[in-house]
């Protein structure tokens, strides 16, 4: 199966956005650690959590996009629905395993490991909101009419 351009473009958008948000998250950890050194940890565990969480989030998004691409070619509704359900179950299970690992393994900060799982959803929703806002009232289709 050939990867569609839309899958590449969306995955690139999510990967770059997740990377940027993860770097910002590490910076916030660093700043909070400077202010509250006893309460907010900063070190390799935060960076490992951010990198791992970002990789899991982007991988999950990519697998979802591949599934949607595959399902789009299926004409049988029930088969397509089952394929999406199975994909969702496995992807959710993989994220659950990652979350458990962040809590069990001491060298991964749980917060830094789990927060990046939210990035793809936030990026897509944010882009949807921002694409609906056009500068200089371009969104307004009403035209003034002289009466």
Give the span between the Cα atoms of 108 and 70, in whole angstroms.
Answer: 34
- Tens of pLDDT, residue by residue over 54-78, are 999 999 999 999 999 999 888 898 9
Q: What is the pLDDT of residue 121?
A: 94
Q: Which residue has the higher pLDDT, 118 or 72?
A: 118
Mean pLDDT score across all residues of the chain: 90
Look at residue 136 and tell me whether its pLDDT is greater than 80.
Answer: no
Instruction: Please give the model's pTM, rounded to 2 decimal places.
Output: 0.83
Q: Which residue has the higher pLDDT, 80 or 147?
A: 80
Rounded average pLDDT over 6-11? 93
> What share of the chain has pLDDT > 90, as a percent?
78
Q: Is 73 exposed, middle or buried (0-12, 13-18, 19+ CB in 10 A)?
A: exposed
Give the span between the Cα atoms of 53 and 61, in whole angstroms.
Answer: 12
Q: What is the pLDDT of residue 81?
A: 92
Look at residue 135 and tell me whether its pLDDT is greater than 80.
Answer: no
Rounded average pLDDT over 106-113? 95
Q: Are 57 and 20 in contact (CB under 8 A)?
A: no
Q: What tokens were used for 100? A: 């458990």
Look at residue 103 and tell me whether its pLDDT is greater than 60.
Answer: yes
């Amino acid at each position: 199966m050939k990867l569609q351009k839309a899958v590449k473009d969306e995955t690139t958008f999510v990967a770059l956005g997740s990377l940027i948000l993860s770097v910002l998250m590490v910076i916030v950890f660093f700043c909070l650690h400077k202010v509250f050194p006893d309460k907010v940890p900063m070190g390799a565990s935060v960076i490992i959590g951010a990198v791992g969480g970002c990789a899991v989030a982007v991988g999950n998004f990519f697998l979802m996009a591949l599934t949607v691409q595959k399902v789009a070619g299926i004409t049988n509704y029930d088969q397509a629905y089952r394929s999406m359900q199975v994909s969702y179950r496995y992807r959710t299970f993989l994220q659950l395993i990652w979350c458990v690992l962040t809590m069990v393994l001491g060298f991964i900060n749980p917060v830094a490991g789990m927060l990046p799982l939210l990035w793809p959803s936030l990026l897509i929703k944010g882009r949807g909101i921002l694409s609906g806002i056009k500068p200089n009232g371009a969104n307004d289709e009403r035209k003034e009419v002289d009466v």
